[in-house]
Structure 1
Amino acid sequence: MNRSIALFSVFILMGPGLKGFANIRLPAVLSNNMVLQQQSTVNLWGWSSPAEKIFITTSWSSTVDSAIASGDAKWNIAIKTPAAGGPYTITFKGNNTIVLNNVLIGEVWVCSGQSNMEWSSLNGLPQMDAELPNSANPNIRFFHIPKTTALAPQDDCAAMWTECNPETLKSFSAVAYYFGKQLQQKLNVPVGLINTSWGGTPAEVWTPEGVVEKNPELKAAAAKIGATNWWPHAPGRAYNAMIAPITSFAVAGAIWYQGESNAGTASTYNALMTTLIDSWRRDWNRDIPFYYVQIAPFAYGNKNIGA
């Protein structure tokens, strides 16, 4: 009798969770207001119960696609996107239903680097102060990843897609915005900008730790970069938290503005950037275009700066 009462009590406590079904969940980069890369094969992915079948429907297609979660509760599906357009909806149905609204198809770019890329109107840029009042443009979307580090590659981040307007532009990268604005005007397609930047950071923190450690020259150079209270310095720390979560998200390419924090190890910067670019292309599984600005010469007051 006592055993029966105990079992009954367990069932009552478990309640609706007795079936063991978990709600499907999407990463932050798959959300309302996002831009998907046009005329491409893009990944849609997330988490659910193991072996659960997820049905995916897009409003630009009459096809219902499906994916089955693996034993570690992850699922992924590759779908084709049309030419630029929208807004569209994407519906995910499993144990629960998620509907993504206001989705556009266009060009998506990753914008990364140090303060040159990070700076916004909040840093007192007069050009941005003049731009803000007339900046509203629903065909430009922002995904701003906060400054975060991790010891190992992460599968999600704390960010969200927003439309460009005077409020959302205030804290967004000025360089990324003007790049996206020109693209949107020249190509006349929606543009999605992923801002993942951190002032002061050396390029090593944006490069997977493993590839730096395997290269004696890069490893020795990384060891020369001293710790600060303002930004990470160890290889891979920003990459793990601010790049790895989006490498499954299809992009057109990347723009990069960085270099000052590597001035003291200038002799290895070419090899470091080659390694960084190769690593990103490998993890995106695509030979994405990668454009970067070379920092202009500056009198740093250190005669051995290029040593």
Structure 2
Amino acid sequence: MVLALGLNSITMMGEVRLPAVIADNMVLQRNSEVKLWGKATPGHELSVKPSWAKKAVKTTAENDSTWVVTVSTPEAGGPYSIDFAEGKSTKTVSNVLIGEVWFCTGQSNMEMPLGGFERQPVKDSNDMIARAKKSTPVRMFVADSEDGRWVRQYSKTPKTEMWGKWLENTPENASHTSATAYYFARYLQEVLDVPVGIMISSLGGSQIECWLPREVLAAEFPEKDLKILDNDEPIKVQQTTPSILYNAKVNPLINYGVRGFLWYQGESNRHNADRYADLMAAYARTLRSKFGNGEDMPFYFVEIAPYNYGNPLATDAALLREAQADAVKKIPNSGIASTIDIGNFQFIHPVDKATVGQRLAWLALDNTYGIKGIASRSPQYDRHEVTGDGKMHIFVTETPNNICPMWTDLQGFEIAGEDGVYHQAKAQVIDRPTCIELSSPDVPEPKYARYAFHNFPEYSVYSGYGLPLLPFRTDRSR
């Protein structure tokens, strides 16, 4: 059910007004200079006093009623409170935790709640829901649903206010929270032993263009039609209208201090995969620029999973996965969590969201928090050699403890000759532990190879740490 909103997302308490994201139960980024903001009577002085600070921070409301202050946060802990005062009017935000904060966006696989969609479950979610408790310091800012009812927010112009709620970690709240983001947060919290906040803003079926601001699309992707943003034509399809989700579900949050970003999207961009890596790079730059905490803020994302898409042997999803792998090279301090081994032929939404969340958490723990001993990156194609005896050798990188075939004959490999017609290949690891040898009686002179390069492919190769080999093809110039 869709909840229709005709309300202002800023709540007034006396004269001090705060946005929805600055509220009871919120998590602030630890050891940082974070912004707090709102509205007040123009020209009036505001006083902001966190309970962890010795002194209040003061400012004056601008002519348009807006104000913003910057406060220093301590090491992880809480609960704390923050008092906001304008004259004799005060508002107190309570039950505030200090810890790690991540901003999570995407389409339906990010949106999919721990309780699942109708007729599409999340594997083992009931156990995770039952074990949710307030004493486990995970908090969720949700902008997608209220008590299981969908909230749709979009706008042709950038907004500064939005609907949303900070929720405590209870079974009911967890059941309505993004499963991917929740598993990520729970894993991170357990390992780091600090509070974790996840801010979730997503929409099922949305294309990446919806999440990019107009000025970025106009400057970098002039082929995109932006006319609808200038006229009175109503928005008929939220998922394909450019910029409207950025305007409504990202822009209102850009003052908030976060550690990094999670992104789970791509299924709806399969048919323009040739531009997707550039679009992703633009999105990462946008978030880093707008949130303003540094050009190298971590940006981790999820590979789209296998699904039949009406033709399991087609390659449109494979081309999108290829673009996602390319994006890692275009985006500094980024990483991809592979899902090539957890797809479902019937469901576009993989039921195993725990693995997705864990692999995202490994990326963060390894690359952002610097925990030694964790392997976070999937093996990937490096180069190939054609031997003189009708065989091809594939060399892979990112292989701690080498590569691990699950059985002697590896599945998912194909080779082709000069004609470009692919045939299933016999594949096995040879004496060099990061080299896979391919051959086929149908291809006496192999020239090209590919692996797991279909909408719903076979797969078989892992690193010694259990991370799957990313799909690839060697004939990208064809």
**Which 10-residue stretch deviates more, 287-296 or 38-47?**
287-296
1:77-116 equivalence runs, <5 A: 77-95=69-87, 96-116=89-109
* CA deviation string 1:79-135 (max 9, x = no partner): 100000000010001041000110000000111111111111142223212211111
Q: Which runs of structure 2 are paired with 1:118-267 in the superposition (5 Å)?
A: 118-120=111-113, 121-123=115-117, 124-138=121-135, 139-146=137-144, 147-216=152-221, 219=224, 231-267=238-274
Amino acid in structure 2 at the alignment position of 1:200: G
SS of equivalent to 1:126: coil
Q: Number of residue pairs matched?
A: 283
Partner Cα separation in structure 2 for residue 248 and residue 200 of structure 1: 27
SS at match of 1:219: coil
User: Which residue of structure 1 lines up, in the alignment, with residue 287 of structure 2?
Assistant: 280
SS for the counterpart of 1:25 is: strand
Partner secondary structure for residue 76 of structure 1:
strand
CA distance in 1, matches of 2:278, 2:94: 43
CA distance in 1 between counterparts of 2:18 and 2:218 reads 33
- Matches of 2:206 and 2:236, distance apart in 1: 11
Change over 3 Å in CA distance of 1:304–1:162 after alignment to 2: closer
Residues 169, 40 of structure 1: CA spacing in aligned structure 2 closer, same or farther, 3 A cutoff? same
Instruction: Encode CA deviations 1:215-262: one digit per residue, 9 max, x unaligned.
Output: 345526999xxx996643111111111111111000001111110100
Q: Which of structures 1 and 2 has the bigger CA Rg? A: 2
CA contact (8 A) 1:221 1:268 kept: no
Question: Matched residue of 2:17: which SS?
Answer: coil
C-alpha root-mean-square deviation of aligned residues, in Å? 2.3
Q: Distance in 2 between matches of 1:145 and 1:248?
A: 16
Matched, 1:32 2:24: yes
* Whole-angstrom CA distance in 2 between matches of 1:151 and 1:228: 9
Match of 2:338 in 1: none
Aligned to 1:214, the other structure's residue is in SS state: helix
Cα distance 1:119–1:222, how it changes in 2: closer, same or farther (>3 A)? farther
Identity over aligned pairs, percent: 36
Structure 1, 39-48 or 63-72: larger mean CA deviation: 63-72
How far is 1:151 from its partner? Answer: 1.1
What TM-score do the two structures reach when normalised by structure 2?
A: 0.56
Query: Do the aligned residues in 2 keep the contact of 1:199 with 1:231 (CA within 8 Å)?
Result: no
What is the distance in 1 between the residues matched to 2:73 and 2:273? 42
TM-score, length-scaled by structure 1: 0.86
Change (3 A) 1:90 1:216: closer
1:117 aligns with 2:126: no
Structure 1 portions without partners, runs of 5+: 1-21
The question of whether the paired residues in 2 share the 8 Å contact of 1:222 and 1:235 is answered with no
Structure 1 residues 137 and 265, CA gap change in structure 2 (3 angstroms) = same
2:305 aligns with: 296
Partner AA of 1:97 in structure 2: T
Contact 1:114–1:198 under 8 Å retained in 2: yes
Amino acid aligned to 2:255? S
Equivalent residue number for residue 464 of structure 2: none
Q: Distance in 1 between matches of 2:226 and 2:160?
A: 29
Query: Which residue of the partner structure matches residue 268 of structure 1?
Result: 275
Please name the residue that 2:49 is paired with.
Answer: 57
Return the structure number with greater relative CO, CA threshold 8 A, min gap 6: 1
* 1:48/1:222 CA distance change after superposition, 3 Å: closer
Question: Relative to structure 2, which stretch is displaced further, 72-81 or 278-287?
Answer: 278-287
| Distance (Å, rounded) in 1 between the aligned partners of 2:215 and 2:307 | 32
> How has the CA–CA distance of structure 1 residues 119 and 191 changed in structure 2, closer, same or farther, with 3 Å as cutoff?
same
The alpha carbon displacement at 1:200 in A equals 0.7
Once the two structures are overlaid, the 10-residue window that deviates more, 81-90 or 281-290, is: 281-290
